[in-house]
Amino acid sequence: MSNLIWATAIALEITLLLRGVKGRLVKSYPLFYGYIACVLTVDVLRFVCYKFEPIFYPNLYWYTEFLAILASYGVVCEIYKCSFRNHPRAARLARGLMVLMLLIAVAGSAANTRTDGFRSPLNTIAQLGCDLRYVEGALLAVVFFLLGTNRISLGRNLRGLIVGFGFLVGMTVMNLALLSQPGNEVSLALRRLLPGSFVITLVIWTIALWLPKPDRVGPPMTPPMVHQ
């Protein structure tokens, strides 16, 4: 089953990239497609390592997982840039919160690393990766809040991108939050479902980005005129 999920994910990633090039959506969402290319490379490397050199797989997994998480922040930036393109106030607030949360995550991980005495590089990378995932969840929550309060209308492509990414990050954050409860049945179920959740995300993206649809991002809101 794991090999089937792995192969399906790779096939969907290739399909997304090919459709993105054919439909010229790569120009509209370069950071997103850069992330897909990064994840595809990571998946292929992991698959080859697992099949031929499984002893090195744990180390490769955590280093490449950290790389994939960093690349996923490109998707967050893409979402912010495209969603608030015509809403400068919301864009400034979003950028400020994004920088603040990133600084908090890096500072917290650095403090944990200093406490551990830099004794385990892989544990440090894993902890920083978890912190960055939590920050992603918070940033997406800010996106949904600002989209709702500013009543911003999105096109099919961008809406599908956000829904898929929100689902993926939500599942990951829930899984991380329950890891501290190893005997919890919900935690066990989520860990089994997590690989499949990425395939679901890829399906959402493939459907939403199959054909290019212009983003319907409205003009910035202006105060009403007062008639004397």
Instruction: Give the pLDDT confidence of 82-110 residue by residue, as tens digits.
Output: 888 888 887 787 778 777 877 776 676 66
38 pLDDT tier (thresholds 50, 70, 90) = very high
Please compute the mean of the pLDDT values over residues 167-190 and round it to a whole number.
Answer: 68
Name the percent of the chain in helix, strand, coil, to the closest 5.
80, 0, 20
Q: Is the pLDDT of residue 210 over 60?
A: yes
Distance CA 212, CA 28 (A): 9
User: In the prediction, which pLDDT does 109 show?
Assistant: 62
48 to each of 38, 60, 153, how far by Cα in Å? 16, 11, 43
Nearest to 161 by CA among 3, 30, 11: 30
Q: What are the C-alpha distances in Å from 176 to residues 14, 71, 162, 173, 182?
A: 28, 19, 21, 5, 11
CB 110 within 8 A of CB 48: no
How high does pLDDT run on average in the chain?
A: 80
**20-24, 54-58, 127-131, 203-207: least confident range:** 127-131
Q: Please state the rounded mean pLDDT for residues 112-129.
A: 64
Mean pLDDT confidence for 143-154:
83
- Do the Cβ atoms of 142 and 97 come closer than 8 Å? yes
Least trusted range by pLDDT, from 7-11, 38-42, 197-201, 219-223? 219-223
- The percent of residues above 70 in pLDDT, for the chain, comes to 77
Please tell me which residue, 228 or 198, carries the higher pLDDT value.
198
